């Protein structure tokens, strides 16, 4: 019996990584489920913000990469007739979309699917979150009103990755929206716990930020907070991520400098393969985000034994009682400072407990087989 054909449309895919979470989400789904389904990836030949295509990939042709079929389109092929031709060529059993607003890889495929009777699963990737909708609020509100009037998403199956996202979808598209819940699949652990623990035997404290640099991520709050910390230990704050909003970065870049107590450095982009070592060499991830429907950076930090200090605007709650870190209410900035100070003041035995708990939480709770099964059912006939 042949496998069902699933065509995934996404603006960016590996070897790209600047777009962050959506790429990781799709990579992990494909790796976990390619024994069940035949996956085709239709994407652009560029990483986020780049004008030159990837140097080492085949462009404008389908090719097989370890059982995954890929096609990277250059700018000349990013138009409706090209997208339509590719979809009809694959003739998929189902189309999986990974954005709400993408012209080429959501809106065009939706129109083509409606005209040819293809089933569609759509993952909004947090774009219906309250804080996300406040960004370019005017344009988005007009788009959402028009989409509802035209019934653009009426027949799609929504892929929600959190209970909050289920609520967001219903609030915008109504209680009749067909929703399937499946938490994102996490990447497998690469490092052993003993190796990670050996990295922690230092007399310093190293915070790390690992995310896009945009207003929704609140990096400026983390910088202001780390500069208020007091300790006999040397404190480091390493910032990694794509500068998605240059104006936002410029608003606080003068704050990125060393003091007697703290060394702060923006270290640019980091390829996914380097993440385990960076987390293993860091003591705490800091991500005071305004909204996260999953948070790959949070999960990846835990997978490498790095506790987290995050806002309460994520699915991950009550972290301190689980020895996983802190989830703080950002309505009071002092809550963030206090959590980071508490992290700095931890004795080594308590910190080792946190590292171990984070590592085990990932392996025993996040990597649950039920998560993979729920994702498999997104594309199954029972839908």
Confidence band, pLDDT 50/70/90 cuts, at residue 1: low
Hey, how many other C-beta atoms are within 10 angstroms of the C-beta on 278?
A: 20
Over residues 52-110, the pLDDT tens digits come to 999 989 999 999 998 999 999 999 999 999 999 999 999 999 999 998 889 999 999 99
Q: Hey, what long-range contacts does 160-165 have (CB within 8 A, 24 or more apart)?
A: 160/124, 161/25, 161/123, 161/293, 161/294, 162/293, 162/294, 162/315, 163/315, 164/129, 164/293, 164/315, 165/124, 165/126, 165/128, 165/129, 165/293
- Is the pLDDT score of 267 beyond 80? yes
Confidence band, pLDDT 50/70/90 cuts, at residue 275: very high
For residue 361, the surrounding DSSP H or E stretch is: helix 348-361
- Is the pLDDT score of 49 beyond 70? yes
Predicted pLDDT at 383? 45
Same fold, 4-185+368-378 and 193-366: yes
Over residues 9-44, the pLDDT tens digits come to 999 999 998 888 889 899 999 999 999 999 999 999
Q: Which CATH class is domain 193-366?
A: alpha beta
Q: 288, 222 in Cβ contact below 8 A?
A: yes
The CATH architecture that domain 4-185+368-378 belongs to is 3-Layer(aba) Sandwich (3.40)
The average confidence (pLDDT) of the chain is 92
Write down the pTM of the prediction.
0.84
Is the peptide bond prior to 15 cis by the omega test (within 30 degrees of 0)? yes
Which of 259, 277, 284 has the alpha carbon at shortest distance from 346?
284
Residue spans per domain, the chain: 4-185+368-378, 193-366
């Amino acid at each position: 019996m042949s496998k069902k054909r699933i065509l995934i449309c996404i603006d960016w895919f590996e070897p790209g990584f600047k777009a962050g979470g959506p790429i990781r989400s799709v990579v992990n789904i494909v790796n976990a489920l390619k024994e069940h389904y035949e996956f085709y990836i239709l994407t652009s030949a560029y990483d986020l913000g780049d004008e030159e295509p990837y140097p080492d990939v085949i462009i404008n042709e389908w090719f097989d990469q370890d059982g995954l079929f890929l096609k990277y389109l250059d700018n000349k092929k990013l138009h409706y007739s090209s997208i339509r031709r590719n979809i009809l060529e694959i003739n998929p059993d189902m189309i999986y979309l990974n954005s709400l607003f993408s012209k080429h890889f959501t809106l065009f495929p939706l129109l083509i699917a409606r005209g040819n009777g293809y089933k569609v699963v759509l993952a909004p990737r947090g774009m219906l979150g309250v804080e996300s909708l406040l960004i370019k609020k005017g344009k988005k509100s007009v788009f959402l009103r028009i989409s509802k009037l035209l019934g653009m998403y009426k027949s799609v199956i929504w892929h929600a990755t959190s209970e909050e996202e289920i609520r967001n979808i219903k609030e915008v598209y109504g209680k009749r929206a067909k929703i399937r819940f499946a938490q994102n699949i996490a990447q497998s652990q690469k490092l052993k716990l003993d190796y990670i623990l050996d990295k922690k035997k230092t007399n310093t404290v190293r915070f790390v930020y690992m995310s896009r640099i945009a207003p929704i991520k609140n990096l400026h709050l983390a910088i202001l907070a780390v500069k208020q910390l007091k300790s006999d230990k040397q404190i480091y704050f390493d910032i990694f991520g794509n500068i998605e909003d240059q104006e936002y970065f410029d608003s606080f870049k003068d704050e990125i400098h060393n003091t007697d107590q703290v060394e702060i450095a923006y270290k640019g982009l980091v390829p996914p393969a380097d993440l385990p070592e960076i987390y293993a060499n860091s003591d705490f991830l800091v991500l005071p985000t305004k909204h996260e429907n999953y948070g790959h950076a949070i999960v990846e930090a835990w997978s490498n034994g790095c506790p987290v200090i995050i806002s309460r605007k994520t699915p991950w709650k009550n972290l301190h009682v689980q020895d996983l870190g802190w989830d703080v209410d950002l309505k009071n900035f002092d809550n963030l400072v206090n959590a980071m100070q508490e992290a700095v003041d931890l004795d080594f035995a308590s910190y080792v407990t946190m590292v171990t708990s984070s590592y085990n939480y990932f392996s025993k709770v996040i990597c649950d087989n039920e998560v993979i099964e729920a994702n498999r059912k997104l594309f199954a006939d029972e839908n």
